[in-house]
């Protein structure tokens, strides 16, 4: 037994991944001439084996993998679309609800979005966050100063109410992506990215509503303002207990973890779950029923890949990388979201490419840690 244990410890990370999960890859969205991108901006939800993910569907342009500019045609409008699976991520169908169209003249990450949406209005509040088909998605205009808006659904994303304006909390502006924790019928904790004092992105703010989304109160900053050459953006957060929350945050080169033990009033950094993301990629954090935490992310240097790490001690320490796939063709990939389906397998979505000069598609990997 001692010899066997020693042999296992010497296995490379890729061997651990193969033994642990044998990931299966599926296509969520792939069309000739199109660019599918950035699920992390939009959100992903699960109701048993019914899964829903949002993403951007723009137009592809070849940039030969040069530099760090996305392979999307910025001169053509993109759509905010959804993909739904009724079989736990094995197959997907694209949906384009009119109720999710962006307000007029909105740009997200510099891409002009499809026209036809309504301007954001003040939220009436009173939403019931505990209804079985509830979901919320938060969107932004500028990645630096917003403004931002949110939408809510009670029927698993078929119809949405909104857009409703996200307040700026006295900051230079809010660039919201989707990261929230439901605490009760009308209580929710949200994690938002605010512009830094120099009007660049960004730093993370923790806020809460207790009246069903009518008003929001800023609770705290999650960490200090980053220096001029860095940012802290795109949080992904889970509740550890009634008083404790863990939030993982994207920096320019790494992913940081911050913990609050007073329900969001103050925060302490507890380390770097990932000290190198290959050039910047956001985390997706999920808490399993057994208490383990799973973090997925895209790696933007060779080997271009989608990776995961697991923690069994509430984020104090993390496993080595589990390679979900490492056949990427260029750096322009990642932005994962992960949910757990009915049989306990995880489904991780992301945008991806297997050819440097090929379209970006939305992929899904089914696996078990």
The tokens describing 129, both together, are 């966050």
pLDDT above 90: percentage of residues in the chain: 85
- What's the mean pLDDT in 304-310? 98
In a domain, 189, yes or no: yes
Question: In this model, does residue 211 exceed pLDDT 50?
Answer: yes
What is the C-alpha separation between 148 and 70, in angstroms, rounded?
22
Q: How far apart are CA 109 and CA 142, in angstroms?
A: 6
Considering the chain, what is the average pLDDT of its residues? Answer: 92
Strands in 171-216 per DSSP E: 174-175, 180-182, 188-195, 201-209
Q: How many CB atoms lie within 10 A of CB 316?
A: 12
**Spatial distance between the Cα atoms of 290 and 76, rounded to a whole number of angstroms:** 46
**Tally of residues, the chain:** 369
Q: 319: pLDDT confidence band, cut at 50, 70 and 90?
A: very high
Q: Taking 90 as the threshold, does the pLDDT of residue 278 lie above it?
A: yes
Instruction: Tell me, yes or no, whether 344 lies in a domain.
Output: yes
Give me the residue label for tokens 């390679």.
323
Q: Phi and psi dihedrals of 260, rounded to 5?
A: -120, 135
In a domain, 7, yes or no: no
State the residue for tokens 């809460």: 208
Burial of 4 (0-12, 13-18, 19+ CB in 10 A): exposed
Which DSSP symbol is given to 330? S
Residue 155 inside a domain? The answer is: yes
- Going by the DSSP 8-state scheme, the letter that residue 199 receives in this structure is S
Instruction: With CA atoms as reference, report the closest residue to 51 among 157, 176, 209.
Output: 157
User: What does the pLDDT look like over 55-97, one tens digit per residue?
Assistant: 999 999 987 555 688 999 988 989 999 999 999 999 999 999 9
Query: In which domain, by residue range, is 335 found?
Result: 27-367
DSSP result, 29-76: E--TTEEEE-HHHH-EEEETTEEEEEEEEEEB---TT-TT--SB-TTS
| Of 345, 342, 301, 314, nearest in space to 239 by CA | 314
d(CA 338, CA 285): 7
Q: Which residues contact 47 (CB under 8 A, 6 or more apart)?
A: 132, 133, 156
pLDDT in tens, 235-257: 999 999 999 999 999 999 999 99
**How far apart (Å, rounded) are the C-alpha atoms in residues 39 and 118?**
22
Helices (H) and strands (E) in the chain, counts: 3, 27
Nearest Cα neighbor of 191 from 5, 40, 72 is: 40
The verdict on residue 254 lying in a domain is yes
- Quick check: helix, strand or coil at residue 79? strand
In the structure, what pLDDT confidence band is assigned to residue 160 with cuts at 50, 70 and 90?
very high
Per-state percent for the chain, helix, strand, coil, to nearest 5: 5, 45, 50
Determine, yes or no, domain membership for 174.
Answer: yes
43 sits in which H/E element: none
pLDDT of 20 = 47
Q: How confident is the model at residue 1 (pLDDT cuts 50, 70, 90)?
A: very low
At 96-115, the pLDDT tens digits run 999 998 887 676 555 666 65
Residue 209's domain is classified under what CATH number? 2.120.10.10
H/E stretch holding 9 reads helix 2-9
Q: Does residue 38 form part of some domain?
A: yes
pLDDT at 13 exceeding the cut of 50:
no
Domain count, the chain: 1
Joined together, the tokens standing for residue 171 give: 């900051």
Evaluate whether 348 touches 324 at the Cβ level (below 8 Å). yes
Output the pLDDT for position 116.
72
Residues β-bridged to residue 27: 363
Residues 341, 52: Cα–Cα separation, whole Å: 11
Does a structural domain hold residue 6?
no
The answer to whether residue 9 scores a pLDDT higher than 50 is no
325 φ, ψ (degrees, to nearest 5): -160, 150
d(CA 184, CA 219): 17
Mean pLDDT of 204-208: 98
């Amino acid at each position: 037994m001692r010899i066997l244990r020693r042999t296992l410890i010497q296995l490379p990370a890729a061997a651990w991944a193969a033994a642990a999960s044998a990931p299966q890859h599926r296509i969520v969205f792939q069309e000739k001439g199109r660019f599918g991108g950035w699920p992390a901006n939009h959100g992903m939800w699960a109701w048993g084996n019914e899964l829903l993910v949002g993403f951007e569907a723009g137009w592809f342009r070849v940039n030969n993998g040069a530099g760090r500019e996305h392979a999307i045609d910025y001169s053509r409008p993109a759509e905010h679309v959804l993909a739904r699976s009724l079989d736990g991520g094995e197959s997907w169908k694209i949906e384009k609800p009119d109720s999710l169209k962006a307000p007029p003249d909105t740009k997200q990450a510099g891409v002009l979005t499809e026209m036809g949406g309504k301007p954001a209005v003040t939220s009436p509040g009173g939403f019931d966050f505990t209804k079985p088909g509830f979901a919320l998605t938060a969107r932004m205009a500028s990645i630096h100063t917003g403004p931002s808006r949110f939408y809510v659904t009670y029927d698993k994303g078929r119809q949405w109410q909104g857009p409703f304006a996200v307040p700026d909390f006295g900051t230079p502006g809010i660039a919201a992506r989707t990261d929230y924790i439901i605490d009760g019928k009308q209580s929710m904790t949200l994690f938002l990215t605010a512009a830094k004092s120099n009007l660049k992105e960004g730093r993370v703010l923790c806020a809460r509503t207790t009246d069903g989304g009518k008003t929001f109160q800023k609770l705290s900053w999650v960490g200090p303002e980053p220096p001029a050459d860095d940012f802290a953006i795109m949080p992904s957060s889970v509740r550890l207990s009634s008083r404790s929350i863990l939030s993982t945050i994207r920096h320019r080169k790494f992913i940081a973890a911050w913990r609050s033990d007073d329900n969001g009033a103050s925060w302490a950094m507890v380390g770097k779950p990932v000290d190198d993301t290959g050039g910047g990629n956001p985390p997706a954090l999920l808490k399993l029923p057994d208490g383990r935490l799973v973090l997925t992310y895209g790696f933007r240097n060779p080997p271009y890949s989608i990776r995961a790490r697991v923690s069994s001690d509430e984020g104090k320490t993390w496993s080595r990388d589990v390679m979900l796939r490492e056949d990427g063709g260029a750096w322009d990939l990642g932005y994962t979201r992960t949910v757990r389906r009915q049989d306990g397998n995880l489904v991780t979505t992301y945008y991806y490419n297997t050819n440097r000069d090929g379209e970006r598609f939305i992929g899904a990997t089914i696996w078990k840690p």
